[in-house]
Amino acid sequence: MKPQPLIAVNNVAASRRWYQAALGLVGGHGGDDYEQLMAGDEMVLQLHRWEAHAHPHLGEVDIAHGNGVLLWFLAGDFDAALRRIRQADAEVLEGPKVNPNARHREIWLRDPDGYVVVVAGHYGDLGA
């Protein structure tokens, strides 16, 4: 089993563009109501428009999005990810910084819908 998180968004196309620019993901489905974002051949995130398809369990559109949930992405090349994030002019909440417990670097972002997105290097990539 592997996770394939789905987040509800106001504008699938705008969110797709943000995740493509900031994280280098690729659209795998397309559409204005639903999108699958891919890293290589693997789906890593789904975007779903709030009002589409009448799903009663997506949550409330007027409540803070993702409260208590972080979208955490492992970057194969943290330096390249950092360059892409800066080029995308993504909103940075914190970092880049070193997490001494994990011995890696990470950067905390906010996506267009208010979700917190963390991009981190591999655990222990800074050595002992």
Tens of pLDDT along 49-92? 988 777 777 777 777 778 889 999 999 999 999 999 999 999 99
Listing DSSP states for 21-76 in one string gives HHH--EESS--SSEEEEEETTEEEEEEEETTGGG-TTS--TTSPTTTT-EEEEE-S
Full-model pTM = 0.90
Superfamily of domain 6-52+68-120: 2,3-Dihydroxybiphenyl 1,2-Dioxygenase, domain 1 (3.10.180.10)
Q: Where are the domains of the chain?
A: 6-52+68-120
Name the percent of the chain lying above pLDDT 70.
98
